[in-house]
């Protein structure tokens, strides 16, 4: 499965909790874990879109609850940048991305869980998070969550197994880098970029926002700097696309260097 295919299947809608909301503290994190939840909302119609409205509403703000993604059988909705803290898992809040999986009446639960698995694998690939750090809400607080997944045959370990299979497919379909030759410390020009469809799209999933001056150093055209002149929401979206591309260019180069080093060892 290619990254483009994964993004198409995820069907991500970005609908962020407004900055300054009481349930969006704005605290920066570097996520090391992914925490899986079920919504515990079986009401008919309680899909990802309904939860997107809820998380921006007065009850969620009063209770100060938040998470990063809600997944149903049709789509993923992203509520917070993955670089920001959410309140969803007790002591796991400061280090994990929270994914809520819907369980409402009429949902295709199998399809919803499969979409959650794909989102998890995508985040693992993007952020280099290992399998043993894909955890349940129960892991952090003891709560019976994600209750639907925990009661599946094989429980949560089966979920992690399927995620690992998807991750392997994504890795296999992701070339290390365009063909090129490395001489000394110089990287061949062909290896300095990755196709936009492999890199830019994942900015919808991950966020690695850095200050504008740092981005300015690596911007390749006036068009890439356009987000800074745009309204704030457009500027943030542009930054996400740009930094997502740069993140994947960097990862591709790192893989290429590792492969070249491995090949060199084999030759010696």
pLDDT at 140: 97
pLDDT at 105: 95
Q: Tokens 């349930």: give the residue.
A: 23
Q: Is the pLDDT of residue 12 over 90?
A: yes
Domains, in order of start, for the chain: 3-172 (3.40.80.10), 182-267 (no CATH)
Question: Tell me: the pLDDT tens digits for 135-193?
Answer: 999 999 999 999 999 998 889 999 999 999 999 999 888 765 444 433 333 433 333 33
* Helix/strand/coil for 215: helix
Which one is predicted more confidently, 238 or 143? 143
pLDDT at 222: 32
Q: Please, what is the end-to-end C-alpha distance for the chain in angstroms?
A: 34
The per-residue DSSP string of the chain comes to --HHHHHHHH-EEE-PPPTT-TT----B----EEEEEE----STT--HHHHHHHHTSHHHHHHT---SEEE-SS-EEE-S-TTB--SSSGGGTTTEEEEEE---TT--HHHHHHHHHHHHHHHHHHHT--GGGEEEHHHHH---TTHHHHTSTTHHHHHHHHHHHHHHHHHHTS-SSSS--EETTEEPGGGS---HHHHGGGGGT------HHHHHHH--SHHHHGGGGS-HHHHHHHHHHHHHHHHHHHHHHHHHHHHHHHHHHHH-
Question: Tell me: the pLDDT tens digits for 94-107?
Answer: 999 999 999 999 99
């Amino acid at each position: 499965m290619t990254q483009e295919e994964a993004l198409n299947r995820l069907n991500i809608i970005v609908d962020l909790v407004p900055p300054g909301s009481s349930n969006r503290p704005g605290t920066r994190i570097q996520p090391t874990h992914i925490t899986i939840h079920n919504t515990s909302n079986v009401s008919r119609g309680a899909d990802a879109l309904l939860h997107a409205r809820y998380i921006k509403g007065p009850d969620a703000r009063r209770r100060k609850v938040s998470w990063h993604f809600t997944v149903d059988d049709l789509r993923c909705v992203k509520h917070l940048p993955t670089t920001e803290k959410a309140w969803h898992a007790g002591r796991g809040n400061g280090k994990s991305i929270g994914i809520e999986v819907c369980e409402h009446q009429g949902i295709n639960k199998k399809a919803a869980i499969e979409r959650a698995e794909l989102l998890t694998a995508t985040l693992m690939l993007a952020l280099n998070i290992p399998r043993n750090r894909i955890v349940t809400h129960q892991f952090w607080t003891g709560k019976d969550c994600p209750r639907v997944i925990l009661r599946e045959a094989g429980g949560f370990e089966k979920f992690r197994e399927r995620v690992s299979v998807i991750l392997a497919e994504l890795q296999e379909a992701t070339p290390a880098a365009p063909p090129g030759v490395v001489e000394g410390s110089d990287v061949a020009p062909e290896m300095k970029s990755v196709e936009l469809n492999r890199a830019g799209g994942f900015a919808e999933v991950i966020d690695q926002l850095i200050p504008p001056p740092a981005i300015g150093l690596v911007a390749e055209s006036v068009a890439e700097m356009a987000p800074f002149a745009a309204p704030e929401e457009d500027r943030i979206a542009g930054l996400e696309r740009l930094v997502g591309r740069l993140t994947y260019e960097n990862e591709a180069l790192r893989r290429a260097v590792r492969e070249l080093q491995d090949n060199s060892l084999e030759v010696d």
